[in-house]
């Protein structure tokens, strides 16, 4: 799985069928716009050079003002309507076939991701990361918990607004394995800019293994440091907002931490996950993401902070 460098977030590097079409729109409209610009500049140059000669204004207006725009714009409209019809029909849950149902809830300023597999009864809750099997069309049910957000993973699909009290949907398909960065595309408050997510497309067998691991409750640590960290978790009252399946159930004010150590990033695309960044985040989340609803750890000493970070990193 390529995690070494920050993945591209670009319409111009499509990796799925819909994104391919949207990428073509970008190029064709840019190309047509460029041609029009060059033609206008050429005519401007011509008119400045030949100001003495009669210009036959009637012909110029009919040709340049009516015929050319009508032909060009009708051509572009026809082409884009034809191409749009080839986009995957959105909001059709049945396209997902037997893939697990995935629902994404946008919150200020992170993403809760739930997998429900009716066959096995597995229910998985994770955050800021959507793992999908490569080459399969996956349907995401979208909702928002507080204000309007918008899900956009430019390399895979178009945007879809996420509206409190209403379920919308988006189909995703990645044609090659990889990590695709996405971003909230609707201004939703001070940390809108730090509301990113990653779509990780895995080979089907790898995806199934990941699902199975995520469905397990949290592993009990064996080493002394993370074991101590689990006690610190309760001393700091982290359980008031965070669930760790098999350890403590809570509301979903904060992300489910059952397998937090296995996620690429923390803070919704803010920092790569490891014990160092976890410790920094716990010690002072306001310094890293001002306005975030997570309070800083209170009166925690260095040893306890290290232990708590080691425990969370151990939750793979
Ligand atoms: Cu959520 Cu912008």
Does residue 109 sit in the same domain as residue 207?
yes
Does residue 64 sit in the same domain as residue 152?
no
Q: Is 106 in the pocket of ligand 1 (CB under 6 A)?
A: yes
Cα(107) to centroid of ligand 1, in Å? 8
Q: Is 149 in the pocket of ligand 1 (CB under 6 A)?
A: yes
Residue 12 within a domain? no
CATH number at residue 178: 2.60.40.420
Does residue 203 sit in the same domain as residue 104?
yes
Does residue 105 sit in the same domain as residue 123?
yes
Residue 303's nearest CA partner among 226, 188, 191, 204 is 226
Does residue 98 sit in the same domain as residue 210?
yes
Total domains present in the chain? 3
Residue 155 within a domain? yes
Domain boundary, last residue among 157, 188, 215 = 215
Burial (Cβ within 10 Å: 0-12, 13-18, ≥19) of residue 180: buried
| Mean pLDDT value across residues 151-165 | 93
Domain boundary, last residue among 84, 112, 131 = 84
pLDDT band at 117 (very low <50, low <70, confident <90, very high): confident
Q: Is 186 in the pocket of ligand 1 (CB under 6 A)?
A: yes
Task: Give residues with Cβ within 8 angstroms of 106, minimum separation 6.
Answer: 112, 142, 143, 144, 145, 149, 151, 162, 184, 188, 195
Is 1 a residue whose pLDDT tops 50?
A: no
Does residue 239 sit in the same domain as residue 292?
yes
| Mean pLDDT value across residues 5-34 | 87
> What ipTM does the predicted assembly reach?
0.99
Does residue 106 sit in the same domain as residue 65?
no
Does residue 132 sit in the same domain as residue 33?
no
Is 74 a residue whose pLDDT tops 90?
A: yes
Does residue 173 sit in the same domain as residue 283?
no
How much is the pLDDT for 2? 39
Residue 5 within a domain? no
Residue 6 within a domain? no
Q: Is 268 in the pocket of ligand 1 (CB under 6 A)?
A: no
Contact 16/174 with Cβ under 8 angstroms?
yes
Is 4 a residue whose pLDDT tops 50?
A: no
Does residue 208 sit in the same domain as residue 99?
yes
Residue 10 within a domain? no
Residue 3 within a domain? no
Cα(243) to centroid of ligand 1, in Å? 23
Residue 268 within a domain? yes
Give the whole-angstrom CA distance, residue 50 versus residue 53. 6
Does residue 118 sit in the same domain as residue 210?
yes
Is 235 a residue whose pLDDT tops 70?
A: yes
Does residue 185 sit in the same domain as residue 101?
yes
Q: Structure pTM?
A: 0.86
How much is the pLDDT for 120? 74
Residue nearest to atom 1 of ligand 1 (CA): 149
- Which residue range(s) make up the domain with 29? 17-84
Domain boundary, last residue among 84, 110, 131 = 84
Residue 277 within a domain? yes
């Amino acid at each position: 799985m390529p995690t070494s460098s920050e993945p591209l977030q670009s319409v111009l590097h499509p990796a799925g069928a819909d994104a391919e079409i949207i990428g073509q729109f970008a190029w064709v409209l840019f190309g047509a716009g460029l041609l029009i610009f060059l033609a206008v500049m050429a005519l401007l140059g011509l008119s400045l050079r030949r100001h003495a000669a009669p210009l036959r204004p009637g012909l110029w207006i009919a040709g340049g003002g009516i015929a050319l725009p009508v032909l060009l714009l009708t051509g572009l409209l026809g082409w884009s309507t034809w191409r749009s019809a080839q986009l995957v029909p959105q909001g059709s849950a049945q396209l997902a076939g037997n893939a697990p149902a995935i629902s994404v809830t946008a919150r200020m300023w992170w993403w809760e991701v739930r997998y429900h597999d009716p066959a096995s009864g597995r229910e998985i809750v994770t955050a800021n990361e959507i793992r999908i099997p490569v080459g399969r069309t996956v349907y995401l049910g979208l909702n928002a918990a507080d204000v309007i957000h918008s899900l956009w993973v430019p390399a895979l699909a178009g945007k879809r607004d996420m509206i409190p009290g209403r379920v919308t949907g988006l189909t995703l398909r990645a044609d090659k394995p990889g990590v695709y960065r996405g971003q909230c595309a609707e201004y939703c408050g001070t940390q809108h800019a730090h509301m990113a997510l990653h779509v990780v497309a895995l080979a089907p067998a790898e995806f199934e293994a990941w699902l199975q691991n995520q469905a397990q409750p949290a592993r009990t640590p064996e080493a002394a440091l993370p074991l101590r960290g689990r006690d610190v978790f309760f001393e700091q009252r982290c359980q008031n907002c965070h669930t760790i399946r098999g350890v403590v159930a809570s509301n979903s004010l904060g992300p489910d931490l059952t397998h937090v150590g296995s996620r690429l990033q923390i803070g919704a695309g803010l920092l790569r996950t490891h014990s160092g960044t976890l410790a920094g985040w716990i010690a002072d989340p306001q310094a890293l993401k001002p306005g975030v609803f997570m309070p800083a750890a209170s009166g925690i000493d260095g040893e306890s902070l290290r232990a708590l970070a080691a425990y969370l990193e151990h939750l793979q």
